[in-house]
Chain A
Amino acid sequence: MKYIDPHIHMVSRTTDDYQRMAQAGCIAVTEPAFWAGFDRSSVQGFYDYFRQLTEYEPRRAAQFGIQHFTWLCINPKEADDPGFAREVVSLIPEFLDCPGVLGIGEIGLNKNTRNELTILEEQIRLAEEHGQMVLVHTPHLEDKLKGTRIIMDALAASRIDPGRILIDHVEEHTVAEVLDRGFWAGMTLYPDTKVTPQRAVDIIEMYGTERIWMNSAGDWGCSDPLAVPKARLEMRRRGHAVEIIDRVTLNNPLTFLGQSERFSVDVESA
């Protein structure tokens, strides 16, 4: 059994997690830039973080035979100060040609503010100008439905093909609209918020396997870096065919991520 965890924050995880993920069949991860649990006090802090994502973390993953790719941005929670955010965004182009960089992400909204939306639009333009793919964070809990719609409208105003954009953290009340508008949809498997492995499998049963994946989004909070293999087991428990299980946990990520020239995973030899 081989799988890809296409959204996980390994900078917040231990080396033991890499080992357990490799033992469970993980062959590749992609790591979007995110909020560290506290607001960084300087632009330089982001520069160091981008170096960690592009230089250090791939080497740590490689020790366990896991390929590491990344997405760069200023996350929406720290984007509420436009002046500061613009300075961070100005750093990103110098990193876009690094080997494992797949695009801009995870951009989006947090509390659905005008400031956040301004920086979201500017980062969409950055992706557009540099021909980058986009990974989108949708807001938490009660802010998700409204925020997801605002984000999709902002993306629709760009020239980026919706097929090169993945909108993450979908749930039962947002997945249909995301798929209807031509975007890819990501389901994040969390124990309390977002969706459990059981609900993710329910969503697949109801909405199909086209343009959808699941991820652990493992980070410093309540999360499980083995959530994807647990969802695979849930699908097996219900009697889903191996081909269907592989589609949503391996082949769909390969298809979406493979649109980037910097993404290459040899599944056979992994």
Chain B
Amino acid sequence: MNVPSENSCPMTRTQVLDAYFMEHRARLLDIAAFLDRLDRAAGEPEDDIRETSFRRALEILTDGRTGRAGRILTMLSDQTTELPVSAAGMKGAIGAPVSLTGDPS
């Protein structure tokens, strides 16, 4: 079984911060502003799976465990097993499953 290697980045933690902190600081603020924009937008909060799954992804970011990207992608995946006959009438992919199941991890 392929297991992700630890300590496989050739950079030190300081070098990673030197190289990427400003870029990801900007992305962090983009996320904060996106959530603020949702707060300011007209209309009542809806049970939209995109917003629900986004907030669940934020929980994964801060749970202190590694493998965050893979766990978020899995959480955002369709977990059903049945196959519809045809795609006729189906929407294109939206980036989140129709419903969320189980633990956020």
**Is residue B14 contacting chain A, with contact meaning CB distance below 8 A?**
no
**Stretch of B35-43, B54-62, B70-78 with 4 or more beta carbons under 8 angstroms from chain A:** B70-78
**Minimal beta-carbon separation of B18 from chain A (angstroms):** 11
Q: Which of B70, B71, B90 has the most CB of A within 10 A?
A: B70
User: With A142-B78, A171-B73, A238-B10 in contact, do A176 and B3 touch (Cβ < 8 Å)?
Assistant: yes
Where chain B touches its partner, the secondary structure class is loop
Chain B: which residue is nearest A117 at the CB level? B83
Residues of B within 8 A of A141 (CB): 76, 93-96
Q: Which of A112, A143, A150 has the most CB of B within 10 A?
A: A112
Residues of B within 8 A of A114 (CB): 83-86
Residues of A within 8 A of B90 (CB): 111
Partner of B77, one of A117, A146, A180: A146
**Stretch of A41-49, A52-60, A161-169, A204-212 with 4 or more beta carbons under 8 angstroms from chain B:** A204-212
Residues of A within 8 A of B3 (CB): 176
A139 near B69: Cβ-Cβ < 8 Å: no
**Is residue B104 contacting chain A, with contact meaning CB distance below 8 A?**
no
**Is residue B32 contacting chain A, with contact meaning CB distance below 8 A?**
no
B1 near A180: Cβ-Cβ < 8 Å: yes
B69 near A142: Cβ-Cβ < 8 Å: no
Expressed in whole angstroms, the Cα–Cα distance for A179 and B72 within the complex equals 20
Residues of A within 8 A of B95 (CB): 141-142
A113 near B73: Cβ-Cβ < 8 Å: no
B10 near A113: Cβ-Cβ < 8 Å: no
Number of interface residues of B (CB under 8 A): 36
Chain A: which residue is nearest B3 at the CB level? A176
Number of interface residues of A (CB under 8 A): 36
A206 near B81: Cβ-Cβ < 8 Å: no
Chain A: which residue is nearest B5 at the CB level? A206
Expressed in whole angstroms, the Cα–Cα distance for A155 and B73 within the complex equals 24
Residues of B within 8 A of A207 (CB): 2, 4-5
Expressed in whole angstroms, the Cα–Cα distance for A238 and B11 within the complex equals 6
Expressed in whole angstroms, the Cα–Cα distance for A173 and B10 within the complex equals 23
Chain B: which residue is nearest A111 at the CB level? B87
Q: Which of B20, B90, B93 has the most CB of A within 10 A?
A: B93
**Is residue A37 contacting chain B, with contact meaning CB distance below 8 A?**
no
B85 near A145: Cβ-Cβ < 8 Å: no
Residues of A within 8 A of B93 (CB): 111, 139-143
Partner of A80, one of B20, B87, B92, B97: B87
B80 near A146: Cβ-Cβ < 8 Å: yes
Expressed in whole angstroms, the Cα–Cα distance for A89 and B96 within the complex equals 32
B1 near A205: Cβ-Cβ < 8 Å: no
**Is residue A175 contacting chain B, with contact meaning CB distance below 8 A?**
yes
**Is residue A115 contacting chain B, with contact meaning CB distance below 8 A?**
yes
**Minimal beta-carbon separation of B16 from chain A (angstroms):** 9
Interface residues of A (CB under 8 A from B): 80, 110-117, 139-146, 150, 171-173, 175-176, 179-180, 198-199, 202, 205-208, 237-240
Given contacts A173-B74, A207-B2, 4 further A-B contacts (CB under 8 A): A80-B87, A80-B88, A143-B77, A172-B69
26 contacts across the A-B interface (CB closer than 8 A): A113-B83, A114-B84, A139-B93, A140-B93, A141-B76, A142-B76, A142-B78, A142-B96, A143-B77, A144-B73, A144-B77, A145-B74, A145-B77, A146-B79, A172-B67, A173-B73, A179-B2, A198-B20, A202-B69, A205-B9, A206-B5, A207-B5, A238-B9, A238-B19, A239-B11, A240-B10
A-B pairs, top 8 by smallest CB distance, nearest first, are A206-B4, A172-B70, A141-B93, A145-B77, A173-B73, A176-B2, A111-B87, A205-B8
